[in-house]
Amino acid sequence: MKQKSINIKGTFVSIQSPLVMGILNVTPDSFYADSRKQTEADINKRIETILHEGGQIIDIGGYSSRPGADKVSPQEETLRLTFALKIINRHYPDAIVSVDTFRADVARRCVEEFGAAIINDIAAGELDADMFQTVADLQVPYIMMHMRGTPQTMQQFTCYDDLIVDVRKYFADKVYLLEQMGVNDIVLDPGFGFSKTVDQNYTLMHRLKDFSIFDLPILAGISRKAMIYTYLNITSSESLNGTSVLHTLALLNGADILRVHDVKEAVEVVKIVSKYNNAW
């Protein structure tokens, strides 16, 4: 098995120790209300918190992907993202930034004009036919997630012949295309909460190691999601404990990157699991 790493602007960043990606939502409607940051002061404070608490990547999103989310125009999404990127470039120029968008033109502008280092695409090219070519042109790491439909319709598409087989086939086809186009840095996100029922999400967690066949980094995005709060009959704001449990399970099952709201707690999970894994 090759050593996992991603090329960030010419520097190979090892993922032998899992990375923590802190979420920065510059949206008014993300599912977890405390994650919504829209003013310069709030955005700056959130960035500072992510970095101070040990987050290695800042993931900026300008389009909420929660079930049934309102559609956002490309112009509005770009405005939100570039507003935050300008703040990062002004105060934290060395920060590693991932831009969470399924639109190729938005991704290209964020990378070329504002220095974003990673593209995080919830649709794996399904919602913009130009995305794969854009990633190939830009030669930046590409996180592609499994989803069916759109954020507005995805929960209508939860029927699978075999969940794990179907998701692996989805990734196999796309990894092949990307590698043929010369894309070298691919991260797989199995899409917890996207086009999946609560029970399917737990099956996905239990079988996360099945995706190691690709020998590519795996990202787990489970922070405060419905698979926690719906199952426990609580709210997203009460879901930190459940999140930490699932982060632990994800790491034990092969996750390399955790995409999180609560950076400090996730960093602690990474440290404890690492200690556990190296205890003999």
Catalytic residues: 225, 259
Residues 72 and 5: their CA atoms lie apart, in Å, by 33
Best CA proximity match to 63, nearest among 116, 102, 97: 102
Q: Tell me the CA distances in angstroms from 118 to 20, 108, 208, 248, one per residue in order.
A: 14, 11, 23, 25
Secondary structure in 3-state letters for the chain: CCCCEEEECCEEEECCCCEEEEEEECCCCCCCHHHECCCHHHHHHHHHHHHHCCCCEEEEECCCCCCCCCCCCHHHHHHHHHHHHHHHHHHCCCCCEEEECCCHHHHHHHHHHHCCCEEEECCCCCCCCCHHHHHHHHCCCEEEECCCCCCCCHHHCCCCCCHHHHHHHHHHHHHHHHHHCCCCCEEEECCCCCCCCHHHHHHHHHCHHHHHHHCCCEEECCCCCHHHHHHHCCCHHHCHHHHHHHHHHHHHCCCCEEEECCHHHHHHHHHHHHHHHCCC
Residues 122 and 253: their CA atoms lie apart, in Å, by 22
Q: Contact 209/253 with Cβ under 8 angstroms? A: yes
